[in-house]
Structure 1
């Protein structure tokens, strides 16, 4: 059954939710290298056969976990203002990464992606979906003449979250609302200056 076809509240949905929750817990506790489908089944209190039949591999389970995280992420803002839309995006990323469980989960998945091609592919798909969802905020700003024609909407959205992920993975600095707002303002200023519009760049 396709993910979108799962009947809300049905047994299939309940099993998937339990298994993905257990997988997230195990990933946070032990990391990708020690993620084990049998352990996940035990944690979720479902049969091992069910887990192996539906997900098959650890990579398949992590891919579905990322799909689930994307499905449950808050929808993009549509305020009619570039800076307010980007600020909403930054605040969403900030709240996610600052959350003790979600932040640890993203850190574990990113570490896995650095050394496992299947995990990397799943992570790339996850972010491609999220960036594509928020890109219309920038495209609409171009249409309103807030930004130069040709501005790369995806690059602008990436620029918003990049400083926050740097804090999560590299510097360890607080991931707070002030950092989120600065990231949004920096991305908006650069976009207005034509940094993300190749036609506006000097040769």
Structure 2
């Protein structure tokens, strides 16, 4: 695979980085999609690098070289899944921003296999690799969504010193609880209630 990249670069020396980068991006996309498909079907405990490689049409060494472990690969896959198509809201209003965030979360965790993935990750939380992957995912999500709260503070919708992570936790925790524990639908009425309660709580503390 490395030799192919070298030959492609030699054939078109004016654009080696673009071609290599494009191919690298396609390989990454294929591997991440294959990893998510595999975990949806077999769970984390049934996840095998060899199966992912076969499904993605790449060599196992490609996966090991880039990600190292299956949990590092899975963390990247889920983080990418949560990020793609889910830009950080910036509507100019805290309520509508939280609505977009809540809708994004609801759509993500309602995807086939995601509930199983989350349940398995919790069950295997004693595994340091799984714990690291979980922390990496949540740190990334909080970092991406923090600007929503920071801008609400700047607009005067929330008091100074409001912790973005606490607000996002308050909004999202009931959504995950409903999915993982009660198995009730994430309908509009429920999502609206989560938003209303989050806003009321943090405005009151100000």
TM exceeds 0.5? yes
Match status 1:89 vs 2:128: no
Deviations 1:90-125 (A, max 9, x none): 111112122325x34652563365242212222222
Aligned partners of 2:175 and 2:186 also within 8 Å: yes
* Partners of 2:79 and 2:140 within 8 A in 1: no
Q: Find 2:40's aligned residue among 28, 32, 40.
A: 28
Give 1:6 shift. 8.0
Normalising by structure 1, we get a TM-score of: 0.82
- Bigger shift: residues 162-171 or 173-182: 173-182
Q: Structure 2 matches for 1:103-118, cutoff 5 A? A: 103-104=114-115, 106-107=117-118, 110-111=121-122, 114-118=125-129
Unaligned runs of 5+ in 1: 195-199
> 1:148-159, aligned counterparts within 5 Å?
148-159=159-170
Equivalent in the alignment of 2:11: none
Work out which of the two has the higher radius of gyration on C-alpha atoms and give 1 or 2: 2
Please give the secondary structure, in 1, of the residue aligned with 2:153. Answer: helix
Q: Structure 2, unaligned stretches of length 5 or more?
A: 1-16
Aligned length: 190
Structure 1 residue runs of 4 or more that deviate by more than 6 Å after TM superposition = 5-9
Q: Paired residue for 1:168, among 179, 182, 185?
A: 179
Q: Is the 8 A contact 1:94 1:177 kept in 2?
A: no
Q: TM-score, normalised by structure 2?
A: 0.81
